[in-house]
Structure 1
Amino acid sequence: MIHPDARQWIDQVLAGSPVARRIGLRFTTVEPDRVVATLPFDPDNVTVDDIVHGGVIATLIDIAGAAASASGIGDSVAGGATATMSIAYLAPAHACDLAAEAVVVQRGRTQTVADIAVRDPRGRAIATGIVTSRIFLREA
């Protein structure tokens, strides 16, 4: 079970952000150090023909990585921010919903690293990413 502060951060700050609401991002799984975020297909989010824009996929990766990081916080944390993000685009996402599974692979006191896999409904790998998040601690 995750800390109530973590759940609030994920629901209000991440899923509740204007960009997450605009692209329709939702969390279907939230557990300690692992989240799954879904992104419904929207023709307004394409680049060429029916291919989901890489920037939209990057946003999905960024928010999923941040949520995985937040899923392990406690009441000593004041917030966080993406420090670095690396993405490999593996295949075009043609007119389909996407799911991003983000798993924390390293957690420190002030930094986490999450590995994110983006897949289409058939399970085909669309992109993979690594998000490093900086954790801001409350002042004592």
Structure 2
Amino acid sequence: MADTELARGWLESSPFVAHLGIGIDLMEPDRAVLSLPFADSLPTMGDVVHGGAISSLVDTAAAAAAWSGAEVPERPRASTVGITVDFLRPARAQGIAADARIIRRGGSGLCFCEVKVTAEDDTEVARALVTYQL
């Protein structure tokens, strides 16, 4: 199976990803760019996109980046080990995109990922570090 096939297949078949409406903008080894269109169900107050929605996009993008550059084992399984999201400014009534890049792969299957989240108007709304275990 090619690097990105597993990640793409997982994203396209995930009920959670479908529920949020997350889309794939770019998939290449060690990088994934995913987008979350604005919906009336996403704001926390007024028109501000909920931090949980942003965090879900971050986690999903990091997982996709981790799988996109990995050798696929016979029985793939994985989990998020750690996630830190810094919210820089609000995303107001607009979609967001997460650009996730693997910055290091450890020998034990740990992947260290940096994620930048921008709104449709190119405002950076969050930065995150994610540790993912393959």
Normalised TM-score (structure 2): 0.91
Match of 2:34 among 18, 34, 37: 37
Partner of 2:88: 90
**1:106 alignment partner AA:** R
Correspondences of 1:99-114 after superposition (within 5 Å)? 99-109=97-107, 110-114=109-113
**1:33 alignment partner AA:** D
CA contact (8 A) 2:4 2:29 kept: no
When residues 87 and 99 of structure 1 are mapped into structure 2, their CA distance, relative to the original with a 3 A threshold, is same
**2:53 alignment partner AA:** V
Partner of 1:128: 127
* CA displacement at 1:44 relative to structure 2: 0.7
CA contact (8 A) 2:5 2:68 kept: no
Q: Identity of counterpart residues, as a percentage?
A: 31
Q: What is the CA RMSD across the aligned residues, in angstroms?
A: 1.4
* CA displacement at 1:15 relative to structure 2: 4.1
**2:60 alignment partner AA:** I
CA contact (8 A) 1:15 1:25 kept: no
Paired with 2:128 and 2:13, the residues of 1 have a C-alpha distance of 22
Paired with 1:49 and 1:61, the residues of 2 have a C-alpha distance of 22
1:63-105 deviation digits (Å, cap 9, x = unpaired): 0000010011113362211111000001111000111100000
CA contact (8 A) 2:111 2:132 kept: yes
Secondary structure, aligned partner of 1:38: strand
Paired with 2:96 and 2:65, the residues of 1 have a C-alpha distance of 17
Match of 1:81 among 58, 79, 82: 79
Match of 1:7 among 4, 9, 24: 4
**TM superposition outliers: structure 1 runs of 4+ over 4 Å:** none
Paired with 1:46 and 1:89, the residues of 2 have a C-alpha distance of 15
Q: Which consecutive unaligned segments of at least 5 residues does structure 2 have? A: none
Q: Which consecutive unaligned segments of at least 5 residues does structure 1 have? A: 136-140
Paired with 1:25 and 1:15, the residues of 2 have a C-alpha distance of 9
Paired with 1:85 and 1:9, the residues of 2 have a C-alpha distance of 22
**1:19 alignment partner AA:** F
Normalised TM-score (structure 1): 0.88
